[in-house]
Structure 1
């Protein structure tokens, strides 16, 4: 047990040293992400104390989920910036990305404390202004994400393994943004038809739109962790890259399967057979990537212990 705990602690330390901020712009972004994650944690406690439903248009789920999601994405952008050279536009990018994320989550949180829906709410001029403000800030975050993707394509200085994680993760974020625009369009249609803020959003009859959106947003964290583990693994350089490609292809397969199923109007638990096979193969691919990374990482740690 002590060996397992020590190994996990060592891996966590390795991930931290590989993702910690370097330079003022990165530190600023890291603190923005930390504040967002802290807000999610605090509101998680509030949700437990206050009780009430988790799902719906006015629940504690929104400040918790949005705070955690934006916080993790902000931290992820720090890791990507570590692989890029410092440029004059590093600070403008960090300010736009960090402040827009804080404002977006802040407005969502404000509406929950007011007891009002944050999305699709035009009941009062204030509510309408809040929703409009959220639209502006999320567009700024999307624009900053697209800018970071282009920057990474043109000027990435990390290893091939890190390049795969960064580009695939940022591309998935861009696709998630597209899914998000369709979610907003679906919500606007529900509001225009019923005059009420939708309590939940699906594509068609039962398409898991939010799940497809979430997988796209958080794939970059999965790929970053895999890349960091591989960088410290006892593997040949080519084997590391192939393992990263297998894990990335697996993630892409899962993301594709869930998204296609959502747009088909089917629940994620009810895909058509070919899509179900694609998703299953994807899960295996991600699992194989992490399994090989963890095993090789353990071998490297054992060798270091023997050397000491």
Structure 2
């Protein structure tokens, strides 16, 4: 499969997603220039860095939707309309983020002025619409039939987990959840758990290195849309190249295993962040849970591969029977077919 050709054809087949993907890349490019040329900082980070990260993420997201859209075999026109809504919504959010950067202020959690409140509220409404559209799109994918079943299952898992990851963004503004500490009247929301935003963080992502960061499970969950289907693609490739290792019948359960394992990873990363623990400083509980997840996934995959190998049909198929010579009497009968009474006509008495 030519992946580059597949992506290009998919984007050409849906213009709004194409516009959102390339438009986001263009804004990301402008933001990258701003990172180096604009000395301003916001929350102890280059002010243009957020627009750059969102631009790259949205470009990947819209491209993924374009590639996954052909796997929807039911309500295709409605699915295309939903993708148009999603493309318009998330590109508008990126435009609002960039506009606030030009103004030199926060784009999210910002209620400092009437205008900032309107921008924050607008982005909240946009993300809810995008989230609901993704829910309906996931239902269409799961209800579709035909095509590669293992890949379709992986796409369904990716969309559902992506919905969860997208929904985790709401925890950054939920004071009632107990994750956001000391909100003010003008800044209501935060990424970090246990400390104020703006502390030491990882390069580029900015994820806190000293406390929990809710952006980690949000990121991990959102990108299930790429990871889980890519795992299914890899399994399909391995099944074609090494059928003795991965049988065709094992691909569907392996897709389910990949989906369950990735779901566990999202839960684990959220549990770690909610406890105020940095992703780079896991404690014994986190490491034990991660080890259990890896061990359980490995055992399930091995059992599936072994059972798939046992169920594989023997190599003596119709092809080998067709290649074997026919008995001598069968060949003779083929050359000189036995005459029947009907062919001889009525016998003489």
In the alignment of these two chains, the number of paired residues is 276
CA–CA separation in structure 2 for the residues paired with 1:42 and 1:49 = 10
CA–CA separation in structure 2 for the residues paired with 1:268 and 1:67 = 24
CA–CA separation in structure 2 for the residues paired with 1:143 and 1:14 = 32
Say yes or no: does 1:210 pair with 2:215.
yes
Rg larger for? 2
DSSP-derived class of the 1:268 partner: coil
Say yes or no: does 1:263 pair with 2:263.
no
Say yes or no: does 1:118 pair with 2:68.
no
DSSP-derived class of the 1:88 partner: helix
Q: CA deviation at 1:200?
A: 5.1
Structure 2: gaps of 5 or more residues: 196-210, 302-349
CA–CA separation in structure 1 for the residues paired with 2:217 and 2:51 = 20
| Aligned 8 A contact 2:42 2:105 in 1 | no
Aligned counterpart, 2:79: 90
Structure 1: gaps of 5 or more residues: 1-12, 290-308
Aligned counterpart, 2:290: 279
Aligned counterpart, 1:197: 187
Q: CA deviation at 1:165?
A: 2.1
CA–CA separation in structure 2 for the residues paired with 1:35 and 1:70 = 10
Aligned counterpart, 1:180: 169
Say yes or no: does 1:135 pair with 2:124.
yes
CA–CA separation in structure 2 for the residues paired with 1:58 and 1:46 = 9
Q: TM-score, with normalisation over the residues of structure 2?
A: 0.68
Let me know the Cα RMSD of the aligned residues: 3.3
Q: 1:46 aligns with which of 34, 37, 41?
A: 34
Q: CA deviation at 1:75?
A: 1.5
Gap change, CA 1:220 and 1:111, over 3 Å in 2 = same
CA–CA separation in structure 2 for the residues paired with 1:224 and 1:209 = 24
**Pairing 1:1-308 to 2, within 5 Å after superposition:** 14-22=2-10, 26-51=14-39, 53=41, 56=44, 59-85=47-73, 87-186=76-175, 193-195=183-185, 197=187, 201-204=191-194, 206-233=211-238, 234=241, 235=243, 236-280=247-291
Deviations 1:144-178, CA, capped at 9 Å, x for gaps: 11111111111254312212321221111111132
Q: CA deviation at 1:66?
A: 1.4
Greater RCO structure (CA 8 Å; 6+ sep) = 1
DSSP-derived class of the 2:174 partner: helix
Gap change, CA 1:49 and 1:98, over 3 Å in 2 = same
Gap change, CA 1:160 and 1:91, over 3 Å in 2 = closer
Gap change, CA 1:156 and 1:56, over 3 Å in 2 = farther
Deviations 1:2-54, CA, capped at 9 Å, x for gaps: xxxxxxxxxxx732234444487634313312221332233123213335558
CA–CA separation in structure 2 for the residues paired with 1:214 and 1:58 = 20
Deviations 1:182-203, CA, capped at 9 Å, x for gaps: 1122499969743453795223
Instruction: Name the structure where helix makes up a greater proportion of residues.
Output: 1
| Aligned 8 A contact 1:15 1:225 in 2 | no
Q: TM-score, with normalisation over the residues of structure 1?
A: 0.76
Q: CA deviation at 1:103?
A: 0.5
